[in-house]
Structure 1
Amino acid sequence: MGFVSKIVALITLLLSMLVPVTHATCRKSSPNYIYAGDSYAAPLNFGKINMTTTYLQPVGSILGSIIVPPSSYSYNGGNADSILWVCDEADLPNIYFLAATNGDEPFGGHVETGLQDGLSGVYATWWKYIGLKQTMSGVVLSRYWQKIPITSYEKLNGKINIRLRDIPPLEAVLYRISQLPNFSRGSYCNTAMIVSGSYSSGKTANGATISCNQPSAYIQLSGDKTVTFSGINRDYEGEDSNVNFSFWTANGIIYGLNTSNTTLTNTPTCVARNATPLVNFAPISKTELENGSKVPAVFNVEIECSDSMISGTGTNQTAIGFQVSDGAYQAASNLGFVSSTNGSVSYLLSDEYGINSDIATGVAIKLYNAASNKEMVFLNQFGIAGGGEAAGWYPVLQGTPYLVGSCFGLYLVSTTL
């Protein structure tokens, strides 16, 4: 009996060794909404950016800052609710996004030019002396593929659907830098960098008009080796996107300045030097608020301008706007205080309005011009140039400005709002 038991045990062991290990599977959805071709890049729409003298805009100055929602990307009629990938629910601990700059393009994420100025993660663009930093879920994008966690998805019948809306938004910031890219590899764009215009129609220093179709970042679906990807390729964490882009074009989405409305100008302008750091309102009772009483407070903004600057909201003119935070924008949107026409915000609310019970409700801040008592609106979280006063942009000298001093062709102006 003992001998027979050992044989049975041995046969059971051999059978268990022959059973294949099952791998979870991920696949693209059908219809397919994924294509990382250059012309489908979600646009980094900064609108008009302006670069003037290094005195007014020293190296390290921020020229523009935006948030790019995933819904900015569209292929094959896709929208925020479109399903990009379908995976087994068991995959969740072992799958993630990978994101990187466009590492094989000198003007799309190959050269980290900001390092010379202490600006890590800032990569060369096609504009001379302008660098781009891109961040997703707190991860600063680089040439090397980095993990971005999947925190949002739809569960359905043992599967998870990863929709376009489940990709985190991208934060993009443009900086003035002091270095031009030094690169050893070729470019898909004209290596004569531009000093004005856009990626689709840029001007070189000698006035030639050229274009560049290269994007700036990618995100793809990847995971551990225990996950099988059916019909799609992927890259691995830590690989250099300069040479590792197995995902392209069928397993990711794309971001870029090449499809954007971003244009560079070189117009005389102003910079804000100082502002009232803390605006205090006098106490007011609940009864007074309910009766429509208001509590005024005045604040100043000190601006330094070129003497050839033109105050206004038109082309090549200088305007000022006051931008709400992302939390305040969301709170205002929830209460219907965001314009559906131009995105302007009519009231400033607390970031945690309606969320934190310690913060008063039924109270908001309204902006007025101190000279004319004219109502003003706030810029939305994107703060894109254009749209005039209806969008929250006002001629920079529209308040109650007075000249503080002037020298070397510059004016120092204080304006009260």
Structure 2
Amino acid sequence: MNRFLNFAWRSPRVSRNGLLATLVVMSSIVVPTHAWAQSTSKGCWKITKLTTNKNSNLYTDPGTVASSWTGSTDGGGKGAYPMTIQINTPPFVPDGTLLASGVAPMVNLGDKGVGGYSPEQVLFRCSPDSAGTMFEYYATNGDNTYAGYTNVSAQSGIPETYETYYTGVVSRVTNMTTGEYVSRYWKATPLTNLDVDSQGWFLVKAKNFSQYKMEFFQCSTCPVHDNTRTGAWAWSQPVAYSAFVGGASGTIIKGNLSVGADSLNHYNGWYGNWPGSINPYGNVTVRRSATCAVTNATPVVNFPSIAIGELNQGGSRQLPITIQMQCQTTKPANLAAFASGTAANQTALGILAPPANAQSATSMGLTTTGSGVSYLLSDGYGTDPGAATGVGVALSRPGGAALNFLTNEYVTAGGTKDGWDPVLNDASANGPASGGMTSYTRTINATFKAFAPRVTPVTTGKFNATAQVVVRVQ
């Protein structure tokens, strides 16, 4: 129930031992074998520290990144998926609505949470004969009622969704390497393009494992459990896991995992040989409050042409964005009352920059002390030679106070520095409440101008970008 905006502007035209054998024969010296030996064992081993003994299966070359790691504990992955989900009632928020979504790499999914692994950290070392036998396995938490046991796809209408502890919310996890939804039945993807050490052994590093997307959807017809609890996610169980399987012979790390096996009773190896937990606990905040929905917004903001000289002298072009909203001023049952603001349980509005555009602005240093960015840059900024540089769109309230662009609509309670503003700032009611709803109109100004402070020269070119008006309980 958000709306998209399109911004456009076009500038006016201007212009790596036979020698050993020989030495032994000639000198008749008996060389102790241990001085020259290296490990001849086969299989895979978990690496938790640096070991310089070349006879050891745990040997690590100088410069290797290795340290103690625990694995996929119940508290693993803390901070990897910061998000707030808002549960409401149909039809105001239709069943099937995506409530929150986030993607995290393996470096953030271990026992220590965000940054717990280095991308180059060696988690497993496998003998040369292990080629083709090293896999990443993944499945939901199949032995837990509220974290991957019950598939509710039939009720939700959304593939591979699972029951959660919270009434009205179902979860889904996707392996971003394979594009497959994670299910209760183990799936696997080969670990390829692995680094090799000086002894020819494979090094399975944190960077070799997949990124995982965790999503939550609304489903009011799905099983009912706790329909009142709010705040930090209370169920301390991951909704899915990433595990390692590897080794052709000798020490094989596998447990009883196999493709298609039910994670309900196939979980040998947990948690030490499983690197990651995909986990709402320590990440997700749940809200149940009356709120607003965007019903309409100015579809296109088409700035008039402006010459480079004028931009360099501080010139700009400004146009209004008109936003129409409906707010639940009479709260439905089981919801907290509506309030406009940026504090917990209040409703705020923001304008979301697309990921690529937000990254461009971040690369240019156009950031805030939070997660927001101060300018919306053109599609293709820095890569498309036809895109104008040194310029962007800035936001402000009618009184001139600057607003920032959101870069993540699921990160809340950060206020202006993240791109949020109380939803009813500068808004006018369009009449009395009707059916428990009140309609409002709000205006935000969009200004096309050169960056301030100046970080790059202004160049001629086109400007096209799309942003989304978002309303969310904080």
**2:358 aligned counterpart, secondary structure:** helix
For the structure 1 residues 198 and 99, does the alpha-carbon distance in structure 2 shift closer, same or farther, using more than 3 Å as the test? farther
1:10-29 map, 5 Å: 25-29=43-47
- 1:355 paired with 2:393, answer no
Matches of 1:396 and 1:402, distance apart in 2: 12
| Aligned Cα root-mean-square deviation (Å) | 3.1
Question: Which residue does 2:213 correspond to in 1?
Answer: 171
Match of 1:338 among 345, 367, 385: 367
Match of 2:313 among 285, 291, 296: 291
Is contact 1:122-1:133 (8 Å) kept?
yes
Matches of 1:363 and 1:311, distance apart in 2: 32
Is contact 1:40-1:73 (8 Å) kept?
yes
1:3-14 map, 5 Å: none
Describe the superposition over 1:305-353 as per-residue Cα deviations: whole angstroms up to 9, x where unpaired: 11142211123211012222222232223222233x4222222224543
- 1:316 paired with 2:345, answer yes
Is contact 1:134-1:140 (8 Å) kept?
yes
Matches of 2:238 and 2:434, distance apart in 1: 42
Question: Which residue does 1:381 correspond to in 2?
Answer: 408
Is contact 2:294-2:324 (8 Å) kept?
yes
Is contact 2:427-2:440 (8 Å) kept?
no
1:15-414 map, 5 Å: 25-31=43-49, 32-43=68-79, 45-75=81-111, 78-81=116-119, 82-87=121-126, 93-137=132-176, 138-148=179-189, 150=191, 154-157=195-198, 158-181=200-223, 192-198=225-231, 201=234, 212-222=235-245, 226=248, 230=252, 233=255, 235-252=257-274, 253-260=276-283, 262-308=284-330, 309-339=338-368, 341-350=369-378, 352-369=380-397, 371-381=398-408, 383-403=410-430, 406-414=433-441
Matches of 2:128 and 2:383, distance apart in 1: 32
**2:75 aligned counterpart, secondary structure:** helix
Unpaired segments ≥5 residues, structure 2: 1-39, 50-67, 331-337, 445-474
Matches of 1:174 and 1:101, distance apart in 2: 14
Question: Which residue does 1:16 correspond to in 2?
Answer: none
1:163 to partner: Cα distance? 3.1
For the structure 1 residues 313 and 214, does the alpha-carbon distance in structure 2 shift closer, same or farther, using more than 3 Å as the test? same
For the structure 1 residues 314 and 200, does the alpha-carbon distance in structure 2 shift closer, same or farther, using more than 3 Å as the test? closer
For the structure 1 residues 382 and 265, does the alpha-carbon distance in structure 2 shift closer, same or farther, using more than 3 Å as the test? closer
**What amino acid does structure 2 have at the position aligned with 1:305?**
C
**What amino acid does structure 1 have at the position aligned with 2:325?**
I
Matches of 1:154 and 1:321, distance apart in 2: 44
For the structure 1 residues 362 and 386, does the alpha-carbon distance in structure 2 shift closer, same or farther, using more than 3 Å as the test? same
**2:346 aligned counterpart, secondary structure:** coil
Matches of 2:192 and 2:389, distance apart in 1: 31
**What amino acid does structure 1 have at the position aligned with 2:118?**
A
Describe the superposition over 1:244-286 as per-residue Cα deviations: whole angstroms up to 9, x where unpaired: 22231121111212333x2323222112223333332223333
For the structure 1 residues 124 and 345, does the alpha-carbon distance in structure 2 shift closer, same or farther, using more than 3 Å as the test? same
**2:88 aligned counterpart, secondary structure:** coil
Is contact 2:167-2:223 (8 Å) kept?
no
For the structure 1 residues 146 and 272, does the alpha-carbon distance in structure 2 shift closer, same or farther, using more than 3 Å as the test? farther
1:89 to partner: Cα distance? 7.1
Question: Which residue does 1:4 correspond to in 2?
Answer: none
Matches of 2:340 and 2:230, distance apart in 1: 22
**1:389 aligned counterpart, secondary structure:** helix
For the structure 1 residues 286 and 140, does the alpha-carbon distance in structure 2 shift closer, same or farther, using more than 3 Å as the test? farther
Matches of 1:100 and 1:117, distance apart in 2: 20
1:243 to partner: Cα distance? 2.4
1:151 to partner: Cα distance? 6.7
Matches of 2:415 and 2:232, distance apart in 1: 25
For the structure 1 residues 282 and 241, does the alpha-carbon distance in structure 2 shift closer, same or farther, using more than 3 Å as the test? farther
TM-score by length of 1: 0.78
Aligned length: 373
For the structure 1 residues 128 and 229, does the alpha-carbon distance in structure 2 shift closer, same or farther, using more than 3 Å as the test? farther
**2:296 aligned counterpart, secondary structure:** strand
The percentage of aligned residue pairs carrying the same residue is 26
Matches of 1:233 and 1:351, distance apart in 2: 48
Matches of 2:251 and 2:219, distance apart in 1: 41
Is contact 1:41-1:254 (8 Å) kept?
yes
1:110 to partner: Cα distance? 1.5
